[in-house]
Amino acid sequence: MAGLFGSLSTAADEHGEEAETQDVEVEYEYRLEGEGDDEQLEERLELSSGEYHYSGDEDEPQNCYVTFSAENVSDDEIRVDFWATVDDHSTWDTQSLLDPGESGGARLESLNPDNCPTDPDQVTITARSPYIGDPHEPPEDDEGEDGDVEFEYTYTVEQGDDEQLEERLELSSGEFDSCTVEADVENLSDDEGISFYRYAVVDGNPTHESQTSLDPGESDSISMEINQGVADECPDDPDQATVHTWVASIGESDEPPEDDEEPEDEEEADDDEPKDKDDLDLSVSAPDSIPYEETADPSEDAADFCITVTNRGDETVSVDGQFEIGPIDEPLPLDLEPGETETTYYGVMSRDLGPGDHEWTVTANGETETETGTLTVTDDEEC
């Protein structure tokens, strides 16, 4: 699925000329993944004001999109994806995190703007959330189920001895609940801070990866949510979970140089360079191939790209990123506070690419951070 950085209230900005509103029946669909039922989401989220807009004739290119409003009527945060179908035509989707009482509007562009429905019968706007509890009561204590999950912890030093990290870092008290892994972590060192990456795998289903920094002797709780853009599913009753931590190296790079004269000169020389040049960490998770589908559901049949950007620096960074594959060229604008991580999803439909190999590129701030790969669209009918 396609994800958009930014809030729901800004998802409709910066588009082309407005199209005319069409008279069409609009329905709203609520989907709750994981534990619970769809009614729980419907009780917390209110969709309204759905409209289909279309313009175009022989002398002008077609323009079509769906607009709607959404309001979080609960006392809890709700993370939700939105998309729409116009008859059998699908739109891109947008992801948003709505605070309690927050409302806003969004605009969903057609996946195939060159083939807009001119006289559709029905528009369906869908809201999907990975998990919520009962909207009126706190979730029940699932200690019995969580206690059945066997937890393991790993410590990896890519350029060094893994024991060096295990001697400095201690993971404990792992729990799994509501598609989220939680654990306690402590920096065992009395005089050295440490910055490390961490993620978890629950019965083969990975979580998002992010970075954590701890001062000497500091302890904290970490939380890792199942990456539903990559994972097969959110496990209901998992048997085993592994929390992974890793660093590139430990040693000289973590210690201040003995001679401060040259580093001071280097710092002065670096003052003229962009402060965010080496402070971004970009990672992309994407499938190697998908089958060609002329008619497909974007929530199930898209090639899901999970893009994660982390600010490892000590200052706020403005990121000017880009995702490109075939005819798709999407911007990735965002601002990251020090240590902050943002993850977005893009769903690419096979029918927009056609059978064959398609190279993709994700960049953050020009060529500062770049990830590339190839997505193969297979067509069994040609075999």
195/284 same-domain check: no
Range of the domain at 376: 280-382
Evaluate whether residue 1 is within a structural domain. no
Evaluate whether residue 261 is within a structural domain. no
pLDDT band per the 50, 70, 90 thresholds, residue 230:
low
Alpha-carbon span 375 to 364, nearest angstrom = 20
368 contact partners, CB below 8 Å, separation of at least 6: 276, 277, 278, 280
322/346 same-domain check: yes
Question: Which among 106, 129, 152 is the end of a domain?
Answer: 129
Residue written as tokens 């056609």? Answer: 354
Evaluate whether residue 347 is within a structural domain. yes
What domain count does the chain have? 3
93/55 same-domain check: yes
296/344 same-domain check: yes
* Pure H helices in the chain: 38-44, 143-146, 162-168, 261-270
In tens, the pLDDT along 65-118 reads 899 999 999 988 888 888 899 988 888 888 888 889 999 888 888 877 778 888
In tens, the pLDDT along 198-209 reads 888 888 888 888
Alpha-carbon span 56 to 114, nearest angstrom = 10
Domain containing residue 166: CATH number: 2.60.40
Query: How much of the chain exceeds pLDDT 90, in percent?
Result: 17
In tens, the pLDDT along 312-357 reads 888 888 888 888 998 888 888 888 888 888 888 878 888 888 899 9
Q: Residue 58: what pLDDT?
A: 59
| Residue of 333, 330, 327 lying closest to 365 (CA atoms) | 333
341 contact partners, CB below 8 Å, separation of at least 6: 208, 210, 211, 308, 309, 310, 311
Read off the pLDDT of each residue in 28-49 and give the average, rounded to a whole number. Answer: 87
112/207 same-domain check: no
Which residue has better confidence, 105 or 14?
A: 105
| Residue of 306, 290, 299 lying closest to 350 (CA atoms) | 290
The chain-wide mean pLDDT, for the chain, equals: 79
Evaluate whether residue 266 is within a structural domain. no
Evaluate whether residue 2 is within a structural domain. no
In tens, the pLDDT along 121-143 reads 999 999 988 776 544 444 444 44
Residue written as tokens 């506070």? Answer: 337
305/346 same-domain check: yes
- pTM for the predicted model, two decimal places: 0.38
Evaluate whether residue 135 is within a structural domain. no
Would you call 121 helix, strand, or coil by DSSP?
Answer: coil
